[in-house]
Structure 1
Amino acid sequence: MSRGTVLIAAGGTGGHLFPAESLAAALGKLGVRVVLATDSRVTEIAKTFPASEVVQIPSGTPSGGSVVSKGIAALKLARGVLAALRLIRRLKPDCVVGFGGYPTVPPVFAAATGGVPTLIHEQNGVIGRANRFLMGRVSAIATGFPKVNGLPERLAGRTYHTGNPIRPAVLQAAAIPYAAPEPGGMLRILAFGGSQGARIMSEIVPPALASLPAEARARLSVVQQARPEDQDEVRRVYREAGIAAEVAPFFKDLPARMAAAHLVIGRSGASTVAELAAIGRPSILVPLPGALDQDQAANARSLAEIGAATVIMQPDFTPERLAGEVAERLADPSGLTQAARAAKSAGILDAAERLASVVLTLAKIPVPDQETST
């Protein structure tokens, strides 16, 4: 029998949906019914979401674009709020949880105006625009990082640092100890640029590694994600340089690949940073440029400040710079072991359970051990 109902609002990207999925799984284990409110862009991902029901809610992105496009987006959001109000009346949820992005706005806004307990989760080190709009209206705020830029001090009393919920595959990889590279031995490198790949990784990483001396190249083993249109060129560079490399557009077992790596080179999305910390792997991070909130730069700094990562901004991410960084690590791999240890110290493996606990408190749903103790 269900111990209550929680409506989770998430959509737009996997970066919002994956932590929501982890929370849903944690709530499901506690006997809580979960319903997902999302938008049409994540239909395929939503098919495997652990919810008893998946409902599409209209939403739009009013930032950027022309006045007309902003007006259309605002109308979609208004339609979404009306649809969310109808959904909330039907479900009578004990709590509504949003994970950022504009698909979160209609359900959370409707719930807050209707007196339903609400929670938003901010995955990044900078609060996003949708969460910024909602943060003064919700019952509580959960964060993926200890410090979130843009979150006012006046909201500290209802803010909880839970960490970013991570996938089961990441938890499995986190149990694998870091295999420190031997002096003069092989160095395993994993390079990727997010779920859709990143051209900059294909343009910079292969020529950087190919420019190293022959003795250094012979010690490299590379796994690289590359877009389909870039794969042939990436493979050619590695082949001509005599570097052992596996190149593919997508790796379903990315957490296991991360665990097997001595060094990870990638972007610094919230999920990537959380997974690097949970698994405990050193990294070279290149924040995505051009983002209005500069969230990836803030995420990357959280690891750099504790010695777990080296951050290179994209204008400085050149083959020459990267080759120098890799050469240093080949010459003295002890720093990698220290960085791995630092990364692991920042990992939060029970973030989903921490977040579920906050949700249950807001919803006034007793947790199982409380029930048995009364």
Structure 2
Amino acid sequence: MRALLAAGGTGGHLFPAEALASVLERRGHEVELVTDRRATTLVATFPADEVHFIEAATLAGKSPVAMAKMAVANAAGLVRSLQAMRRFQPDVAVGFGGYPTLPPLTAARLLKVPAIVHEANAVIGRANKSLARHAHVATSFPTVEGLPAAQAATHVGIPVREAVLKAVAPYEPPAEHFNLLVFGGSQGARAFSDMVPPSIAILPKEMRARLQIVQQARPEDVERVRAAYRELGVAAEIAPFFKDLPKRIAGAHLVIARSGASTVAELSIIGRPGLLVPLPGALDQDQAHNAAALEALGGARRLDQKALTPEVLAKELNTLIGDPVRLALMAEHAKGLARPDAAERLADLAERIAAGDDA
């Protein structure tokens, strides 16, 4: 089988695509990927025979000029997608969200290639919603808000990379040291650089002395975050990106993070408690829905950034660090969303759809 995968150029879109690609290649299928230039560094080890960088555009305004620019960019992306698909002749196309999936999945429809749209979040995204009318939908969550009731859908879970599955280990309650992990997705989160160090400063001195912090920060924020912890006498490792993030999650007693679909999946698969701060201002509020789903199971606390102050975060940290029994329970409850075989299930679905079985 030949499978064309399409994903926006961020980790949240690419990591599930990478997980599926690994399974398909193990099964002897051919894989090609369509993404955009943001993914240049992320696809260095992507298991695909070829990677196509095809640009697409979102609507950046309602003016005639903005609409014209979007139309021109997407038309060019569609032409390149049609060329790539005619060369590759895929049996199935699988989209993982983001506007860069619009040209290749539209090309699939025009060429009558059966398609699957994988919705990673607990609410369907705009790009996926526009594509879902002509594709089978695979979902990560048991229920997805905004999905038409009559839409054909299969719950497969969120495919995670092999590194995540290998990192799974029992939750070990904190003893002498308390490991706190802070990260904000593939692009980092300045809000955490601004918010977490002052909240740590509010904690009791004896609690600070136990902390070992690993925190992701944007390159321009690394030194000031590092200096803030140094001044507090807190052991901290600060970097813009951690290639071994699944291993870091497994070693954490508590995680502070955004609530993108991949983050929620990895917390659930590995089983670690989280303080989740959804990205504010998102049109579909997808991260808010994801955080709410994990919070409903008791595996996380959802904190809205608008109401989050150093004092509020310090109170949450003080409560949880001082309650190891609750942390252990949260770690166990977080596993309620886990589907370790999600990539295998999505590969099974791709094979069925390619074979003409849309049941």
TM bin, normalised by shorter chain, reads over 0.9
* Amino acid corresponding to residue 219 of structure 2 in structure 1: P
**Which residues of 2 match residues 144-223 of structure 1 at below 5 A?**
144-155=140-151, 158-174=152-168, 176-182=169-175, 185-223=176-214
Q: 1:251 to 1:86 in 2, by over 3 A?
A: closer
Within 2, Cα distance between the matches of 1:307 and 1:257? Answer: 22
**Which residues of 2 match residues 1-374 of structure 1 at below 5 A?**
4-62=1-59, 64=61, 66-138=63-135, 140-155=136-151, 158-174=152-168, 176-182=169-175, 185-364=176-355
CA contact (8 A) 1:165 1:352 kept: yes
Deviation, structure 1 residue 31: 0.6
Within 1, Cα distance between the matches of 2:40 and 2:124? Answer: 26
SS in 1 for 2:150: helix
CA contact (8 A) 1:210 1:237 kept: no
Within 1, Cα distance between the matches of 2:215 and 2:196? Answer: 9
Within 1, Cα distance between the matches of 2:223 and 2:36? Answer: 35
Within 1, Cα distance between the matches of 2:96 and 2:338? Answer: 20
Deviation, structure 1 residue 365: 8.7
Q: Which residue number corresponds to residue 371 of structure 1?
A: none
CA contact (8 A) 1:62 1:74 kept: no
Q: Radius of gyration: which is bigger? A: 1
* Amino acid corresponding to residue 172 of structure 1 in structure 2: K
> TM-score scaled by structure 1?
0.91
* Amino acid corresponding to residue 213 of structure 2 in structure 1: V
> TM-score scaled by structure 2?
0.94
Deviation, structure 1 residue 321: 0.7
CA contact (8 A) 2:268 2:334 kept: yes
SS in 2 for 1:45: coil
SS in 2 for 1:276: helix
Following TM superposition, where does structure 1 have runs of at least 4 consecutive aligned residues deviating by more than 6 angstroms? none
Within 2, Cα distance between the matches of 1:44 and 1:324? Answer: 38
Q: 1:17 to 1:350 in 2, by over 3 A?
A: same
Q: 1:211 to 1:92 in 2, by over 3 A?
A: same
Q: 1:365 to 1:169 in 2, by over 3 A?
A: farther
SS in 2 for 1:6: strand
Q: Which residue number corresponds to residue 372 of structure 1?
A: none
Within 2, Cα distance between the matches of 1:65 and 1:255? Answer: 41
Within 2, Cα distance between the matches of 1:111 and 1:298? Answer: 30
Deviation, structure 1 residue 10: 1.7
Deviation, structure 1 residue 331: 2.5
Within 1, Cα distance between the matches of 2:224 and 2:73? Answer: 43
* Amino acid corresponding to residue 141 of structure 2 in structure 1: F
Q: 1:39 to 1:224 in 2, by over 3 A?
A: closer
CA deviations 1:267-310 (Å, max 9, x no partner) are: 11111111100110000000000111111101111110000000
Q: 1:72 to 1:288 in 2, by over 3 A?
A: same
Q: 1:87 to 1:220 in 2, by over 3 A?
A: closer
CA contact (8 A) 1:105 1:134 kept: yes
Within 2, Cα distance between the matches of 1:299 and 1:252? Answer: 24
CA contact (8 A) 2:60 2:66 kept: no
CA contact (8 A) 1:62 1:71 kept: no
Within 2, Cα distance between the matches of 1:33 and 1:355? Answer: 16
SS in 2 for 1:154: coil
Deviation, structure 1 residue 154: 1.1
Of 282-291 and 142-151, deviating more is: 142-151
Within 2, Cα distance between the matches of 1:233 and 1:47? Answer: 30
Of 307-316 and 193-202, deviating more is: 193-202
* Amino acid corresponding to residue 348 of structure 2 in structure 1: S
Within 2, Cα distance between the matches of 1:242 and 1:65? Answer: 51
SS in 2 for 1:8: strand
Within 1, Cα distance between the matches of 2:67 and 2:120? Answer: 25
Deviation, structure 1 residue 70: 2.1
Number of aligned residue pairs: 357
